[in-house]
């Protein structure tokens, strides 16, 4: 399946290029309906219950983007309360939350890769358990208490189960979300049982504290989208705000804060913050924000850049 905003479907403009220019404001976007893709797919989006609402009976208006006159219910499409013609309403820059959803549908994020890597780690653990139990059995089973043998079997089984669930998670099997919480509980019980009594309280507290984090991760918007589960428009918007709203300004600020500890990063953070600030355009669709973060990034990175420059000057002219 093709991504919804590949250049060949929407001309040369990607979803992140929303500079208002005369060309795009000109009426008559009807000519652009063709590259939108198969009619059935278009109809699906138009019929989507959450995002678009048909205009009311007797209501007449014009498309907010191209100015096309809209005559009836089937003529228009409302996106976040604003009325568009059906051609404009399904554009990735207009219905940017839908485009965001589509871009993450079935896509692995950092957490999925991390959980995928725990499969390798668990497999390694299972091999270690197998190797050490082989050493143990090699010297004869007679002297070994049955409790020790069951401990090895249990540990190996938990690691193999973790590996299997993590692989399923990585492959996007829907049950694996719950399954991963299950193997977490198994890991905790196994660690609890095998810990010395003095450590058990610590294991219990650590587990109780990490369970909400785990639930937060597997319930995250991007995880749900990876597993192809529906996500409310409000959740999409919240996730879009974090990851897609002027990421340059966000990363610039984070780098600027880091540069307070590592001053040579200052100039790079300053450059990113300036680019981030230049991109701010609350009137664009989608709106580009984070003005304050960009300015804060410029302030902090200027400080660390000044420190770097001073240090360099001292080195050169000493």
Please report, as ranges, the residues that interact with Zn ion according to CB under 5 A: 29, 63, 65-66, 68, 85, 88
Q: What is the closest distance, in whole angstroms, from the C-beta atom of residue 87 to Zn ion in the complex?
A: 5
**For residues 88 and 277, which CB has a smaller minimum distance to Zn ion in the complex?**
88
Terminal Cα distance for the chain, rounded: 62
Q: What is the closest distance, in whole angstroms, from the C-beta atom of residue 65 to Zn ion in the complex?
A: 5
Q: From the CA atom positions of the chain, what is the Rg in Å?
A: 28
Query: Look-up: residue for tokens 């690691």?
Result: 159
**For residues 28 and 196, which CB has a smaller minimum distance to Zn ion in the complex?**
28
Q: Report residue 41 as tokens.
A: 């797919």
d(CA 251, CA 267): 14
d(CA 212, CA 230): 22
**For residues 63 and 248, which CB has a smaller minimum distance to Zn ion in the complex?**
63
**For the stretch 153-183, what's the b/e string if a residue is b when 16 or more beta carbons lie within 10 angstroms of its beta carbon?**
ebbbebbbbbbbbbbbbbeeeeebbebbeeb
**For residues 63 and 167, which CB has a smaller minimum distance to Zn ion in the complex?**
63
Q: What is the closest distance, in whole angstroms, from the C-beta atom of residue 30 to Zn ion in the complex?
A: 8
Q: How far is CA 136 from CA 25, 160, 274, in A?
A: 77, 20, 63
Task: Find the DSSP H helices in the chain.
Answer: 22-25, 39-47, 86-89, 96-104, 110-138, 146-170, 176-194, 200-218, 221-226, 233-243, 247-259, 266-279, 291-317
**For residues 85 and 269, which CB has a smaller minimum distance to Zn ion in the complex?**
85
Q: What is the closest distance, in whole angstroms, from the C-beta atom of residue 84 to Zn ion in the complex?
A: 5
Is-contact 151 132, C-beta < 8 A? no
Query: Look-up: residue for tokens 């669709």?
Result: 285
d(CA 301, CA 305): 6
Q: DSSP state, 95?
A: S
Count other Cβ atoms within 10 Å, centred on residue 311: 12
Q: What is the closest distance, in whole angstroms, from the C-beta atom of residue 89 to Zn ion in the complex?
A: 7
**For residues 61 and 109, which CB has a smaller minimum distance to Zn ion in the complex?**
61
Q: What is the closest distance, in whole angstroms, from the C-beta atom of residue 283 to Zn ion in the complex?
A: 18
Dihedrals phi, psi of 161, to nearest 5 degrees: -65, -45
Q: What is the closest distance, in whole angstroms, from the C-beta atom of residue 66 to Zn ion in the complex?
A: 3
**For residues 19 and 139, which CB has a smaller minimum distance to Zn ion in the complex?**
19
**For residues 32 and 281, which CB has a smaller minimum distance to Zn ion in the complex?**
32
Q: What is the closest distance, in whole angstroms, from the C-beta atom of residue 38 to Zn ion in the complex?
A: 20
């Amino acid at each position: 399946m093709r991504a919804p905003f590949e250049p060949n479907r929407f001309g040369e403009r990607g979803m992140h290029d929303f500079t208002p220019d005369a060309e795009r404001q000109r009426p008559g976007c009807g000519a652009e309906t063709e590259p939108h893709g198969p009619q059935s797919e278009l109809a699906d989006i138009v019929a989507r219950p959450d995002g678009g609402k048909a205009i009311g009976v007797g209501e007449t208006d014009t498309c907010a983007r191209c100015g096309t006159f809209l005559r009836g219910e089937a003529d228009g499409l409302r996106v976040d309360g604003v009325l568009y013609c059906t051609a404009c309403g399904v554009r990735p820059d207009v219905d940017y939350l839908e485009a965001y959803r589509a871009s993450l549908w079935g896509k692995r994020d950092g957490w999925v890769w991390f959980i995928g890597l725990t499969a390798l780690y668990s497999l390694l653990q299972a091999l270690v358990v197998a190797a050490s139990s082989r050493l143990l059995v090699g010297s004869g089973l007679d002297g070994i208490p049955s409790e020790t043998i069951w401990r090895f079997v249990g540990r190996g089984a938990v690691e193999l189960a973790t590996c299997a669930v993590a692989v399923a998670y990585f492959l996007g099997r829907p049950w694996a979300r719950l399954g991963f919480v299950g193997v977490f509980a198994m890991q905790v019980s196994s660690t609890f049982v095998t810990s010395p009594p003095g450590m058990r309280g610590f294991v219990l507290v650590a587990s109780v504290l990490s369970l909400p984090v785990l639930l937060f991760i597997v319930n995250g918007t991007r995880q749900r989208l990876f597993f192809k589960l529906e996500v409310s428009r409000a959740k999409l918007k919240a996730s879009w705000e974090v990851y897609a709203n002027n990421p340059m300004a966000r990363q610039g600020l984070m780098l600027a804060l880091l540069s307070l500890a590592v001053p040579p990063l200052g100039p790079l953070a300053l450059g990113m913050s300036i680019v981030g600030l230049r991109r701010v355009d609350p009137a664009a669709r989608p709106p580009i924000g984070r003005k304050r973060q960009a300015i804060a990034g410029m302030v902090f990175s200027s400080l660390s850049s000044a420190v770097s420059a001073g240090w360099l000057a001292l080195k050169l002219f000493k």
